[in-house]
């Protein structure tokens, strides 16, 4: 149930919170999308007064410009300018919603850390990213920063990796964009035709990289392909690092002509693809949260998903959970859905209901509650 603050004390002073937004300059991926969704709700809430800070990266978009911007950010903005601006603004606390964390500050710090992939599987990240995260994050946490994460799995791993008390890590569950809906779009059929999607299809979404384990979806599809000759497999996601083996795997597949690699698609195209899929398959090996299965559920699609890491929290009891290393489990689960219309309808109804509980309003409320607890604790010191 979402919190009702209509009776809150209108005379109480709002908590003044600085949010460091340099992550938006560096990455328009999941972190930036989450900030985009969360910020308007935080600004609109009378309990907090949000002050946005970010590094001014207005230099030419060239190799030299990017190098200069990076040096300025690392050597000047984070260690010097940001602490000075925070003191000038008189904020009560700082929220860093990415791995970019400044040096020692006079105010309490809240960090968002979605996973500990840099510790669990550094081989799946660029070395420079691993080095940066492993340099900054332990120092910030050692100075007493409070950590926000998006799943109970990640909370357990953060506590284990950094050896910190449970009360210094809070779970604020992320929300879904309201556009993800099972209501058909007027242009869905035309959009699929434009992408040459004319046959029934299974769908999987994710960057083509080892962590997403797309090869398991392909192997599962191969096992059921002969029994369902009218079915294709559609892969949505950008090419990723170390994806050459996956591309070679597809080229060698006996059903390669039925595997469609669409690459990046627009948001509207993604919605259309979700709504038209017979089933969504997501055999990922590691997720700090896991948006795609929820997005598929919201769009009225039954989900077959790995239960690895945080995904068990997303799909347990609603989707069919499979071992990401067992293609036969994937095939059996998909065939069960395809051949049992009643099961499919039950899964769709349960999935739509489940996905509707993941709202950004809930995330904003939980985030503000963390701010309040952290500020209150700091004031008692």
**Tokens representing residue 53 in the block:** 């800070």
Same domain, yes or no, for 205 and 132? no
Check residue 7 and give its pLDDT: 46
Same domain, yes or no, for 125 and 258? no
Same domain, yes or no, for 50 and 151? yes
Distance CA 223, CA 209 (A): 22
Domain with 201 in it: what CATH number?
3.40.50.2000
- Which structural domain range is residue 163 located in? 15-175+359-379
**Tokens representing residue 302 in the block:** 């039954």
pLDDT-derived band at 106 (thresholds 50, 70, 90) equals: confident
Same domain, yes or no, for 149 and 195? no
Q: With contact defined as beta carbons under 8 Å apart, do 247 and 355 qualify?
A: no
Total Cβ atoms within 10 A of residue 38 = 22
Same domain, yes or no, for 89 and 159? yes
Distance CA 146, CA 51 (A): 19
Tens-place pLDDT, residues 233-254: 999 998 877 788 888 999 999 9
Domain-located, residue 150: yes
Number of structural domains the chain divides into: 2
pLDDT-derived band at 368 (thresholds 50, 70, 90) equals: very high
Domain-located, residue 104: yes
Domain-located, residue 208: yes
Residue 147 has pLDDT above 90, yes or no: yes
| pTM recorded for the entire structure | 0.90
The residue written with tokens 């460091």 in the block is 20
Same domain, yes or no, for 215 and 290? yes
Domain-located, residue 6: no
Domain-located, residue 252: yes
Check residue 107 and give its pLDDT: 93
Same domain, yes or no, for 127 and 196? no
């Amino acid at each position: 149930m979402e919190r009702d603050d209509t009776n809150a004390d209108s005379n109480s002073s709002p908590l003044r919170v600085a949010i460091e937004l340099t992550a938006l300059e560096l990455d328009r991926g999941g972190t930036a999308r989450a900030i985009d969704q969360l910020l308007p709700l935080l600004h609109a809430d009378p309990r907090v007064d949000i002050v946005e800070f970010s590094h001014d990266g207005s230099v030419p978009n060239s190799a030299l410009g990017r190098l200069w911007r990076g040096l300025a950010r690392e050597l000047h903005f984070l260690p010097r300018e940001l602490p000075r601006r925070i003191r000038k603004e008189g904020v009560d606390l700082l929220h860093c919603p990415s791995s970019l964390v400044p040096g020692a500050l006079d105010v309490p710090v809240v960090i968002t850390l979605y996973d500990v992939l840099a510790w669990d599987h550094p081989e799946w990240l660029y070395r420079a990213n691993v080095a940066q995260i492993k340099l900054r994050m332990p120092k910030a946490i050692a100075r007493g920063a409070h950590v926000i994460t998006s799943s109970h799995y990640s909370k357990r791993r953060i506590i284990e990796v950094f050896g910190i008390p449970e009360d210094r890590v809070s779970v604020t569950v992320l929300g879904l964009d309201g556009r993800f809906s099972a209501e058909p779009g007027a242009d869905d059929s035309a959009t699929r035709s434009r992408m040459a999607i004319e046959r029934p299809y299974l769908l999987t979404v994710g960057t083509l990289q080892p962590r997403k384990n797309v090869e398991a979806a392909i192997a599962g599809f191969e096992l059921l392909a002969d029994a369902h000759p009218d079915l294709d497999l559609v892969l949505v996601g950008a090419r990723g690092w170390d994806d050459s083996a996956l591309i070679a795997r597809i080229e060698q597949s006996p059903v390669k002509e039925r595997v469609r690699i669409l690459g990046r698609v627009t948001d509207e195209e993604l919605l259309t693809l979700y709504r038209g899929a017979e089933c969504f398959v997501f055999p990922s090996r590691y997720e700090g949260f896991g948006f795609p299965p929820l997005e598929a559920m919201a769009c009225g699609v039954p989900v077959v998903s790995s239960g690895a890491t945080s995904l068990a929290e997303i799909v347990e009891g609603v989707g069919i959970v499979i071992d990401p290393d067992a293609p036969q489990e994937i095939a059996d689960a998909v065939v069960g859905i395809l051949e049992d219309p009643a099961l499919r309808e039950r899964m769709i109804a349960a999935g739509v209901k489940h996905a509707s509980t993941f709202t950004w309003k809930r995330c904003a409320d939980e985030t503000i509650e963390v701010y309040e607890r952290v500020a209150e604790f700091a004031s008692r010191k």
